[in-house]
Structure 1
Amino acid sequence: MHNTVTVAEIKRRGMAAIDEGLRRGPVHIIKRNKSAAVVLSEEEYQRLVGEQPQAGSEMTALQWLLTQPSAGSREKAEIDAKLAEERDW
């Protein structure tokens, strides 16, 4: 691994250590002498997942959450009943 940054260096220099490394490509984060993570630029990440960043599509976290598909199968009444049951202790 040629483009590495240790956790200690990140603690010492902060985001500057990662930004500097990203100029040379993906940054491998080393923790306790083992590879712990890889940081990619946003452009590289989008390329890997096959999405194209859309210009001007800045959205808030709430707007993003509202666009996500529902993952659950329970009805609101069922969730409310379960919460009420848990609160009656």
Structure 2
Amino acid sequence: MEERNVLTSAELKRRGIVAIEQALQHGPVHLIKRNQAAAVVLSEQHYRQLQLRASRAPAPDPSALQWLLSVPPSESPRGKAAIDAELAAERDW
């Protein structure tokens, strides 16, 4: 299991920003509130590295829905009757 740099809300209230500054020396700080992960605090340098990496990342492939929506409609659209007839013919084989 990966060890995380954790800071509870109680400790943050008690020690203030100093607690975050000290924890940041060991990497990103995971803030815990009511025993659940609430946020992650990054150093400015780490944040800028992530922004730079994200700007260089290739665009993700479109989802099936995005692809379907981008396909232009056919030039000779078939009507419902024609589609129903084709489906009936396929079922009769």
TM-score (norm 2): 0.52
Unaligned runs of 5+ in 2: 54-93
The Cα of 1:9 is off from its aligned counterpart by: 0.5
Task: Note the aligned Cα RMSD (angstroms).
Answer: 1.3
- 1: CA distance, partners of 2:4 / 2:49: 22
In structure 2, the residue matched to 1:24 is: 26
Which AA in structure 2 matches 1:29?
L
- Give every structure 1 segment of 4 or more consecutive aligned residues whose post-TM-superposition deviation is greater than 2 Å: none
Instruction: Tell me the number of residue pairs that the alignment of Structure 1 and Structure 2 aligns.
Output: 51
Question: What is the identity percentage for the equivalent residue pairs of Structure 1 and Structure 2?
Answer: 55
User: Alpha-carbon deviations, 1:24-53, whole Å to 9, x = none?
Assistant: 0000000000000000000000000118xx
In structure 1, the residue matched to 2:47 is: 45
In structure 2, the residue matched to 1:4 is: 6
TM-score (norm 1): 0.55
Which AA in structure 2 matches 1:41?
S
Which AA in structure 1 matches 2:6?
T
Residues 7-86 of structure 1: pairs in structure 2 closer than 5 A:
7-50=9-52
